[in-house]
Chains A and B, each alone.
Chain A
Amino acid sequence: MVEPKAKATGPKGHVFISPERCKGCGFCAQYCPTGVLEMGDAFNRKGYHSPIASHPEKCSGCDLCGMYCPDFAIYGVKHARG
């Protein structure tokens, strides 16, 4: 049940990706407002391309990627304040 996750950290937040959950739809990469994500070239076990954080420094943790993702394979978390 614990999905392997990869985490990228930007100045304002993190993005977490579970590559094995991804089905390669591309919404996250398309709609990330700051351009953090790209769909990668590698395949996951099911043959889909999952996203990579090619520009983690741009991540604000806004979670728009998470709202779009139909597979709950990615999400953003803002850094806690203070």
Chain B
Amino acid sequence: MKANPRGVLTGIHFLDGDHAAAEGALAAGADFSAGYPITPSTEVVERLASRFPRTGGTFIQMEDELAASIAIQGAVWGGAKAITVTSGPGFSLMMEHLGYGIMTETPFVLIDVQRGGPSTGLPTLPAQSDMMQARWGSHGDYEIIALAPSSPQECFDLAIRAFNLSERFRTPVLLMMDECVGHMLERVVIPPAEEIEIVPRRYTKIASGETYWPYSLDESPNGDLVPAMTRAGLGHFPHITGLTHDEHGYPAMNAQAQTVLVERLIAKIRNHVDEIMILDEDHVDDADIVVVSYGITARVCQPAIAKARAQGLRVGLLRLVTVWPFPEKRIRELAGKVKGFVVPEMNMGQIVREVERLVAGKAPVSSVTNAGGEVHDPDVIYRAITEVKR
């Protein structure tokens, strides 16, 4: 369906990533946010606080990130489309509720505008050091969808995509920004509402008062594994719990129920990787050296790659727009063909571990680390490219 015009600020804007992400949420039809201030994400909620009353939404600043990350889920079960925003320390606090959302299959978007860590770290400076936390930060086994924008424009576009994926798969989706993309100002084009495609929440067709089971697959096409949704007030009387549950939603404290549920939650994402995956490839198909990067660092790679190409090296850039699920298939494909991989990231080596795992020793993988605080010097990346030896 098309976006509701009341949330779409159509036009050509000069915005930073934080503001663009807020506009993306609004364009996607978000109508609820509960947040908590934390640098460098605060501007997102400040903008939502200002814009929501004029677009039919509600913003509430909660007392902490623990409250914010669960208040949005209460709102979703009241029928809202909800988002919360944070940075490192708040991301850590939100982990329990990320798991609750995954377990209860509650769609929402959670933005992490990454900053230097660990702990209080560098509140005003960028990093990309929460990428593994995005994958593994909550306890238990699960799959997660995480997108990484490289520009304010992408903050807008991927915020919409994040909502669409969350509704499609009835799961929380992460938007992994960083302080650089969040605070840089760039041209952001917001199209007319009728050009924005929105995936609506798939509500159950079961009538009010009839028997509805919140985790039944009866209304799901074969293999889809996504149950139909409901909300409070429709006469469906779901019981929603974070305990391991059966398709009735009732707690089922046994290994069989655990196996059925956890395997379905994981397969729900894994089986649809192709639908979820977005990769931005530049000269990868005939590359000798593939640079794998994401977020702001992918842009910092560009002058380094250009310089290397000018020296005659066949270098491609594989930009991960979808970081999780990780593009296993593509990396495995490339592993047998290329002379080496270079993985620059603004952390001490996180996504590179996935690359290494999938390359499985078939080619050298070079990790270009950065403790955070400022983007790489492109020359460091250039040197790593030139030093790739088969």
Q: Do chains A and B touch in the complex (CB under 8 A)?
A: no
Residues of A that sit less than 8 Å from B by CB: none
